[in-house]
């Protein structure tokens, strides 16, 4: 039996899950989404993800057709229907079917989709050896244009930077903001370690403040590791003792080379390894 997808209140077979060609999510990227991860049947930091989804929807004047509690139950029902306990979930809310014009108020109503599946963003061996990444020429969208705290369906900015990375032979790329400061990577937040302390770009740098990023900041501080948000330059990355990325799908993965420069000793560092272990222990409920 194939995977089932939740589409506006119905669980349908993956091959039967469809939307209209007039759906504004397809036509204009008019919608929001959230990526979540389940471990042992429990969705990691579920309430924070759901809160962020509803915040994103409110920011674009989109009404989600379920309450937070009912949406959460729908996610668990979709996991159960697919027999999944360790899985990735993608929750998508589009503004729904409308016309070819830009007027969003012509839509018949929002459409809610929940996809569950297994995911491995990076090959397992890279968690042992670390990533090589580059800095993309594509600049992060300005926060005063579309606020990056809105997790919208329009990811073209990130995709263009991702293309640069892939064309350079790496699978992730750093994005700078319009002031030349480090923002984030195409799909993950970024941290450095220097002198035993952690630093990560602040929200005003133009980042999506990730749930896993927040979890790592909290775990580090609880473990007595200095961790703060501050502006970072490319020099800070190159001169760091360690560098790592965080994200729902990625969890926490080390970076060992940036723009051809070796970071630290060129291996995943002790802080990254410690924090990955703490993150996985929390996810496992230990």
Distance CA 134, CA 23 (A): 35
**Which of 171, 65, 169, 155 has its CA nearest to residue 112?**
65
CA distances from 178 to 129, 143, 225 (A): 32, 10, 31
Written as six digits, the tokens of 153 are: 């369906």
**Which of 262, 137, 130, 254 has its CA nearest to residue 191?**
254
Verify whether residue 4 is a known catalytic residue.
no
Q: How far is CA 198 from the centre of its chain?
A: 20
Sequence-distant (≥ 6) Cβ neighbours of residue 87 within 8 angstroms: 37, 38, 79, 116, 117, 118, 119
Distance CA 184, CA 224 (A): 25
CB-based contacts of 52-59 (< 8 A; 24+ apart in sequence): 52/151, 52/211, 53/91, 53/93, 53/151, 55/149, 56/32, 56/149, 56/150, 56/151, 56/152, 57/32, 57/93, 59/147, 59/149, 59/150
Helix pair angle (211-222, 270-283), 10° resolution: 110
Q: 3-class SS at 35?
A: strand
Q: How far is CA 234 from the centre of its chain?
A: 22
DSSP classification of residue 173: E
Written as six digits, the tokens of 151 are: 């997790």
Greatest pairwise CA separation for the chain in angstroms: 57
Residue tagged active-site, from 4, 70, 151, 267: 151
Active site residues: 151
């Amino acid at each position: 039996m194939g995977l089932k997808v939740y589409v506006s209140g119905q669980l349908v077979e993956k091959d039967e899950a469809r939307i209209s060609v007039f759906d504004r999510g397809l036509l204009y990227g008019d919608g929001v989404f959230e990526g979540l991860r389940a471990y042992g049947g429990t969705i990691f930091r579920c309430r924070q993800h759901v809160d962020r989804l509803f915040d994103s929807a409110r920011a674009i004047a989109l009404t989600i057709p379920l309450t937070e509690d009912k949406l959460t139950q729908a996610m668990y029902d979709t996991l159960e229907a697919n027999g999944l306990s360790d899985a990735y979930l993608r929750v998508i809310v589009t503004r729904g079917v409308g016309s070819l014009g830009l007027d969003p108020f012509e839509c018949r109503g929002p459409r809610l989709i929940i996809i569950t599946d297994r995911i491995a963003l990076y090959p397992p061996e890279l968690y042992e050896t670390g990533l090589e990444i580059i800095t993309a020429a594509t600049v992060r969208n300005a926060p005063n244009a579309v606020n990056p705290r809105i997790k919208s369906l329009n990811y073209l900015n990130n995709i263009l930077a991702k293309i640069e990375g892939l064309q350079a032979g790496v699978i992730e790329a750093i994005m700078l903001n319009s002031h030349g400061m480090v923002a984030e990577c195409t799909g993950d937040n970024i941290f450095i370690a220097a002198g035993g302390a952690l630093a990560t770009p602040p929200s005003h740098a133009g980042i999506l403040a990730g749930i896993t990023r927040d979890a790592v900041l909290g775990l580090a501080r609880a473990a007595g590791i200095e961790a703060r948000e501050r502006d970072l330059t490319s020099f800070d990355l190159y001169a760091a003792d360690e560098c790592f990325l965080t994200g729902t799908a990625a969890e926490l993965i080390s970076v060992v080379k940036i723009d051809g420069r070796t970071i630290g000793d060129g291996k995943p560092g002790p802080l990254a390894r410690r924090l990955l272990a703490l993150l996985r222990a929390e996810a496992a409920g230990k």
